[in-house]
Amino acid sequence: MPKFPLLSLLSALLVAVLAACAGTNVASNAPATPGAPSLAEVYADNFYIGAAVNARQISGRDTAGLRLLASDFSSITPENVMKWEEIQPGPDTYTWELADGYVELGERLDMWIIGHTLVWHSQLPAYVRETTDPDQLRAYMEDHIRTVAGRYAGRIDGWDVLNEALNEDGSYRESVFYKVLGEQYIVDAFRLAAEAAPNTQLYYNDYNLNNPQKRQGVLRLVKLLQDNGVRIDGVGMQGHYNLNGPPIAEVEASIDAYAGTGVNVMITELDLTTLPNPWDLDGADVNQDFENSPEMNPYPDGLPDSVSTKIADRYADLFDLFLRKDEAVTRVTLWGINDAQTWLNNWPIRGRTNYPLLFDRESRPKEAYDRLLTLKDN
């Protein structure tokens, strides 16, 4: 299992270095009591504890978030800055500043660095999204993967090569890549990534991978790559969960199934929505959006203690499973550092106040954080 021996003293030192590099005056006053174990330290012998970071943290503007990152996490994933439309907005145009800053941040903090994501149907620039010629689309994909993965070869530890390529029934999503290139694009994407970054782990990442039908689709995808002699090192199970579901047994069954193919399993994009979802939506399709209403935003001024306890209970149940499966699970990544950052404030309804992470809007530890610190002692 991965081990990340992050000491509290080292955390404080790293924060000070980070502050100097970012040109900010950051005091090393992380919420945890000085000398107390951090989240990363508690789980160091089990799996990496990751967080998604955004442009404000990469640029050094979110000093509170950076303190938490240094004190309690051992892995980072970029929330948006490495997605295709951000990093290559035109066929011959690359914007490296934030992506370079992200990798440099991970290196300064000695993190396990994830690249997210090389091929995805969403957040694509128009020149890719509207391509109908197979040779042209193949050339775009080859150039993008070789250039981006190649630039960070030896610096990024794991790439989400392919993101959300399946429908809920396990069939292939009708993305531009699948419609124009067929399932061969999956084989080509992983082969190109392996060539461009031979020492980097390569992952498939998707949501609702606890669902039995979608699970079968992932198993078919992994087998496709393995049968073609193409390397895949892990499956990322996005954990966009809620207080009532999915059932722990379903999550466990999927972890076991994916591990059975010989790949590692990561819990990625973990958060627990606390708000009502009357449309009974599944997953995390970022193209869905709905008009706000007071009934759908029940906690604008703070979360009741009873709900905070439910969040803590749910996180404890999930981490108890991850600990039992730590031979397969190599990383657990929260999709954000604190509640102010979470994408769930604006999805599926904009302007709501959600509470899905371990630190509140002021970067203070929540009941769920305290529960996870002591879970292994119980």
pLDDT tens readout for residues 22-74: 443 333 334 444 567 899 999 999 999 999 999 999 999 999 999 999 999 99
Distance, in Å, from the CA atom of 280 to the CA atom of 355, rounded to the nearest integer, reads 19
Tokens 């499956």 correspond to 235
Assess contact for 65 and 30: CB atoms under 8 A.
Answer: no
Q: Where in the sequence is the domain holding 257, given as residue range(s)?
A: 8-377
Indicate whether 1 belongs to any domain: no
The closest alpha carbon to 358, from 270, 299, 276, 247, belongs to 270
Cα 111 to Cα 105: distance, rounded to the nearest angstrom: 8
- Nearest of 95, 98, 35, 105 to residue 63 by alpha carbon: 105
Is residue 2 a part of any domain in this protein? no
Q: Which of 191, 196, 206 is nearest to 240 (CA)?
A: 206
15-24: pLDDT as tens digits = 444 444 444 3
pLDDT at residue 34, as a whole number: 57
User: Would you say residue 274 lies in a domain?
Assistant: yes
CA 294 to chain centre: 30
Kindly state the tokens that stand for 216.
């079968």
Just list the catalytic residues: 164, 269
Residue 250 counted as domain residue: yes
Write out residues in the chain with pLDDT < 50, as ranges.
1-33
Residue 169 belongs to a domain = yes
Counted domains in the chain: 1
Within a domain: 268: yes
SS (H, E, C) the chain: CCCCCCCHHHHHHHHHHHHHHHCCCCCCCCCCCCCCCCHHHHCCCCCEEEEEECHHHHCCCCHHHHHHHHHHCCEEEECCCCCHHHHCCECCECCCHHHHHHHHHHHHCCCEEEEEEEEECCCCCHHHHCCCCHHHHHHHHHHHHHHHHHHCCCCCCEEEEEECCECCCCCECCCHHHHHHCCHHHHHHHHHHHHHCCCCEEEEEEECCCCHHHHHHHHHHHHHHHHCCCCCCEEEEEEEEECCCCCHHHHHHHHHHHHCCCCEEEEEEEEEECCCCCCCCCCCCCCCCECCCHHHCCCCCCCCHHHHHHHHHHHHHHHHHHHHCCCCEEEEEECCCCCCCCHHHCCCECCCCCCCCCECCCCCECHHHHHHHHHHHC
- Residue matched to tokens 């106040």: 353
What is the DSSP pairing of strand 329-334 with strand 264-273?
A: parallel
226 inside domain: yes
For residue range 294-310, what is the model confidence (pLDDT) as tens digits? 778 888 888 899 999 99
Task: Name the burial class of residue 97, with classes exposed (0-12), middle (13-18) and buried (19+) by CB atoms within 10 angstroms of its CB.
Answer: exposed
CATH of the domain at 260: 3.20.20.80
Q: Identify whether 286 is part of a domain.
A: yes
pTM of the model: 0.89
Distance (Å, rounded) from C-alpha 343 to C-alpha 271? 10
